[in-house]
Amino acid sequence: MSVRYDPDNMAGLCYGCHQYIDSQLEEKRLFFISLLGADKYELLYGRAYQTGKPDEQGWTLYYTQKIKELG
């Protein structure tokens, strides 16, 4: 839950690819390493095991700003 809204934990995949990658843990790890690089992946992995709920309000503000930057 701690990285649920984290942009580093997101990738645009079709339904079939999403189902596949979620069922193959080593493939998923290698996919995110190739996407992020090893250092950034290790930081994401560490954040994934932090306790507590994600800061939904903070992520809402973050994504609202990102959407404004696109327009």
What is the count of structural domains for the chain? 1
| Assigned domain for 16 exists | yes
Alpha-carbon span 25 to 41, nearest angstrom: 14
| Assigned domain for 34 exists | yes
Q: Tell me, yes or no, if the pTM score tops 0.75.
A: no
Rounded average pLDDT over 42-56: 84
| Assigned domain for 58 exists | yes
| Assigned domain for 45 exists | yes
- The label of the residue with tokens 């306790």 reads 51
- Residue 54 three-state SS: coil
Rounded average pLDDT over 22-45: 94
| Assigned domain for 61 exists | yes
Rounded average pLDDT over 47-67: 83
| Assigned domain for 23 exists | yes
From residue 50, alpha-carbon distances to 1, 14, 17, 18, 22 in Å are 9, 29, 27, 24, 20
- The label of the residue with tokens 């079709």 reads 14
| Assigned domain for 17 exists | yes
Domain assignment of residue 35, given as a range:
7-70
Residue among 24, 21, 3 at smallest CA distance from 12: 21
